[in-house]
Amino acid sequence: MAYQSSISKKASIMIRNKKITTSIFIALLLFFSCVKEEIYDTAHPDKGQITLVTDWSKKGEGIAAPESYTAQIGDYAVVLKGDHSALPHLFTPETYRMLVYNPAEKISVKDETATVETTTNGYMESLPGWFFSHAGEVTVEKDRDYTFTATMQQQVRELNLWIEPTGGTVNKVGSVTAELSGGAQQLNLRDGTLRVEKNISLTFAKQPDGKYKATARLLGFVSAMPKLTVKIAFAGGSPSEITQDYDLGNQLKTFNVEKNKPFSLGAQLMEMPTAAGFIITLTDWKTVKEGNGIAD
């Protein structure tokens, strides 16, 4: 009897242990069946991906879009080509400052400031390359793909100065040079502030129609009252060279806006009668229609 009782107890314990093991197994099975694998939307669940689109529609007529440009997002910078580029970099979730600009001849960029080079004689370069930029902010979240558009703003404006000889002055001009003050050498690409006032030197070239033209490209004007000094020498030294100064504040007051449109001023060279005979003088400068030097 004692032996049978011992066997019965062991069997009971084994059955109970089997039931406990089975219960634990079922509980674990139920637990793991309730744990769902997290699903991500991208291959970079902890970071964001950026595709940059550059919009060049605000560039001036006849100006080609640059072949390459630099994109700076936070501390990351890359040189890109084309108007649609997936950046080869993943970004941690954050709000970043973004700056996009192109390389341009005679213009350098450092610390979000564009600077026009200076010539060996101390003037600012009068014909830097075409320069565009975009500044803004982008916010990146993890596990997201973004497409951001940078609308590129033309930051260099063309200025054309025309002189039209009239009457007895036709065919008498030997050379025309000028100095223009108040130009901006630096542009803050973040807030658009123009800084560092600098002069440029200009040389007029005779056109097929007999007019004289000088062209400059500027970031804008710092001075509210730019000054133009024009020197005209005549063939054979007669009459004597004339020098005339002009305040162009009123004529150039809107120069710093709509930089994608050329800006033109014109004046006429004419003979004026005096008690002693005739003198040659240059008229005041007026806005002219681009391409023909005719006053509006």
Q: Is the pLDDT of residue 294 over 80?
A: no
What's the pLDDT at 3?
47
Q: Residue 68: pLDDT above 90? A: yes
In the prediction, which pLDDT does 11 show?
A: 52
Amino acid letter for position 68: S
Q: Which domains does the chain have, with CATH numbers?
A: 48-154 (2.60.40.2100), 157-295 (2.60.40)
CA 269 to chain centre: 38
Cis-peptide into 239, omega within 30 deg: yes
Q: Indicate the average pLDDT of the chain.
A: 90
Which band of pLDDT confidence, cut at 50, 70 and 90, is reported for residue 38?
Answer: confident
Count of CB atoms situated within 10 Å of the CB of 62: 6
The pLDDT score that the predictor gives to residue 19 is 58
- Euclidean distance between the first and the last CA atom of the chain, given in angstroms as a whole number: 129
pLDDT at position 22 over 90:
no
| Whether residue 293 has pLDDT greater than 60 | no
Whole-Å CA distances, 222 to 8, 184, 196, 287 = 105, 5, 7, 20
Over residues 216-261, the pLDDT tens digits come to: 999 999 999 999 999 999 998 888 999 999 999 999 999 999 999 9
Give per-residue pLDDT as tens, 132-176.
Answer: 999 999 999 999 999 999 999 999 999 999 999 999 899 999 999
Mind listing the pLDDT tens digit for each residue in 77-104?
A: 999 999 999 999 999 999 999 999 999 9
pLDDT of res. 289:
81
* Of 92, 47, 96, nearest in space to 73 by CA: 96
Looking at residue 93, what is its pLDDT?
98
pLDDT of residue 200: 99
